[in-house]
A = this chain, B = another copy of it.
Amino acid sequence: MKMNIVVIGANAAGAKSASKAKRINPKAEVTVIDRGNFISYGACGIPYFVSDAVEDVKELMSTAVGVVRDHHFFKKVKGVTVKTNTEVIAIDRAAKSVCLRDAQTSQETTLAYDRLILATGSSPFIPKINNVDLTNVLTVKSIEDAELLKRLAVHGSRACIVGDGLIGLETAEALCHKGLQVTVVEMRDQVLPGVLDREMAALVEKQLKQQGVTVMTGCAVSGLVGDDAVEAVQIGDMQIPADLVVLAPGVTPNVELARTAGLEIGVTGAIAVDKLQCTSDPNIYACGDCCETTHLITGKKVFIPLGSTANKQGRVAGINAAGGEATFAGVIGTSILRVFNLNAGKTGLTEAEARANGFDVETVLSPSHDKAHFFPGAKPIVLKLVAERSTGRILGLQAVGEGNVDKRLDAAATAITFGATAEQVSQLDLAYAPPYSAAMDNLIVAADILKNKLAGHARGISSHEVKRMLDDGDDFILLDVRSPAEHGEVRIEGAKLIPLGMLREKLEELPRDKEIITYCKISLRGYEAQKILDAAGFENTKFMDGGILAWPYALTTATTTF
């Protein structure tokens, strides 16, 4: 008997699961239902369409060789039937059928299934604030959103983006490129909350400001102001004028259909699935943004919707629905974005997440060039490695910089998946030639410093803590061990200069009864200085993690403070 497989949702997860199911079971009848008009598009590409980096919206809906993935494509190439503009309004689990409604005719029909795959995706979360339905207030999720935003993105107008997550900042960049004045507003006290720890996020915030974006953190939006079209964003007593407001505070899974059908909804609010991507009904699978998954480090259920995960889960759901066997292991929370000149991302747990999950952690902040320093085009990146103190197991990596960070994130994601320790990461046989890395790759340097810290050889202190000590007027020596030229160019106000090469001769200039905190450009010399002071019997020395390159606060130059 011919098997009927019905898939609800025709984007990443849905399209993938349908194609895979048909390939696994060529005799199956595979039907994909989508309420929208556009299918199988790359929603992640929308900011690049808005910024004109991608010119034609069709490119987001095409294969790599330029064929539009429309219902003809799915029929001819994949052997899969796609019905667009059709909403599934109910699932009858007992009868094993879905009730469809045609968006144009409102006609309702019934479609039987042997196996059902839910790929209903997610929707932008709309905050409960006043006047959220004003004109020119929009979200960034659908092709329709993308086209509207591009039309409204007029040079010189003022845009306010609510939410400083990945989509929010990508959209901020896109609108800046189009010549808009952009303000980003975030309720929490940093940009990219959940993606980066505070000091790493501060590097991104600095870049946003340098590019002319107004960044407001710790600001809760209470409402929007305007009659027909939006005119301002209300934050407490303050109004931020805006011709255009983008709501990007995150997404929520589309689970109503599943909930109404009595399927189990998980603790995260997304559809609960097992390793086979099977829901609480053995004939119904779910994949992509509508379902939750397992975090491989914490073992907890998480809702982290991403196109990469959606594709992997779609493959698994499609295979299992078609009678094959596949499992989806889980995720480790990897994410990345490009924002102006910076690349920023994380894999595994941030320090904050690790601590919140009860881990005792050691961390290292390691800035360096992304290639051999003498190679043209080498650019700085800052890595933050987080490890479990007792075992040395790597829990997470964050990386921010103008240079190549994705490579380090992918190697770390792989290492973390296999439970690698700092020792193991430091021994990885990574690809080395001057155009690609220094002889010791940034990740290996970071792991080596981490080993030194875990062994007690290296004692770091965060820039955040040093800033607090300076602000509080604590009695300590902040020791800059860079060259006089470097010190003259840019420095932290209040630091004493003894170049590393002079330190062994000038030890008597330093008091033995005060805490000494050393730093240099990246704190490699800072660490060497700590070791020299240790060897000379100084008992209270530390180096500042990440040096001046990772210092997110104001710096003094020869002529000015910035």
Contacts and interface: CB of A to CB of B under 8 A. Distances in A.
Interface in A496-542: 500-502, 504, 520-522, 525, 528, 531-532, 534-535
A429 B297 CA distance: 12
A411 B45 CA distance: 24
Nearest to A501: B76
Interface in A229-243: none
A189 interface: no
A23 interface: yes
Interface string A333-373: 11111100001010100000000000000000000110011
Interface of A is mostly: mixed
Nearest to A46: B434
Nearest to A336: B431
Contacts of A500: 76-77
A549 to B, nearest CB: 11
Interface residues of A, number: 104
A26 B67 CA distance: 66
Interface string A431-475: 111111111110010001000000001000000000000000000
A23 B374 CA distance: 26
A486 interface: yes
Interface of A: 12, 23-24, 26-27, 42, 44-45, 48, 53-54, 59-60, 62-65, 67, 72-73, 76-79, 166, 170, 296, 306-312, 315, 328-329, 331-338, 343, 345, 347, 368-369, 372-376, 404, 406-411, 413-415, 417-418, 420, 424, 426-441, 444, 448, 457, 482-483, 486, 500-502, 504, 520-522, 525, 528, 531-532, 534-535
15 contacts: A24-B457, A26-B532, A64-B373, A64-B522, A65-B486, A65-B521, A72-B501, A170-B433, A308-B440, A332-B429, A347-B431, A406-B436, A407-B410, A410-B441, A411-B411
